[in-house]
Amino acid sequence: MTTEKKVDGWIDDLVGALVDPIIVMPGGWGEDLPEWLRTRVTLERLGENIVALREGRELTATDAEAACYLFTASLTAPMGSDWTQIYLYVAGGEMKGEKKLEMPEDIKVESLTESQWRDLKHLKAWIYQQRRKHRKEKQRGERRQAKEEARAKELATVPVQPSFF
Give the number of other CB atoms < 10 A from CB of residue 99: 6
Residue type, 77: A
Give the number of other CB atoms < 10 A from CB of residue 145: 10
In a domain, 82, yes or no: yes
What pLDDT is attached to residue 150? Answer: 82
Which segments of the chain have a pLDDT < 50?
A: none
Please tell me whether residue 8 adopts helix, strand or coil conformation: helix
What pLDDT is attached to residue 5? Answer: 63
The count of structural domains within the chain is 1
Within 13 A of 77's CA, how many CA atoms are on the CB side? 6
What pLDDT is attached to residue 26? Answer: 92
In a domain, 161, yes or no: no
Q: Domain span at residue 119?
A: 3-130
Q: Are 107 and 88 in contact (CB under 8 A)?
A: yes
In a domain, 77, yes or no: yes
What pLDDT is attached to residue 11? Answer: 87
With 0.75 as the threshold, say if the pTM is over it: yes
In a domain, 105, yes or no: yes
First to last CA, the chain: 62
DSSP H stretches of helix in the chain: 3-19, 35-55, 63-76, 81-96, 114-155
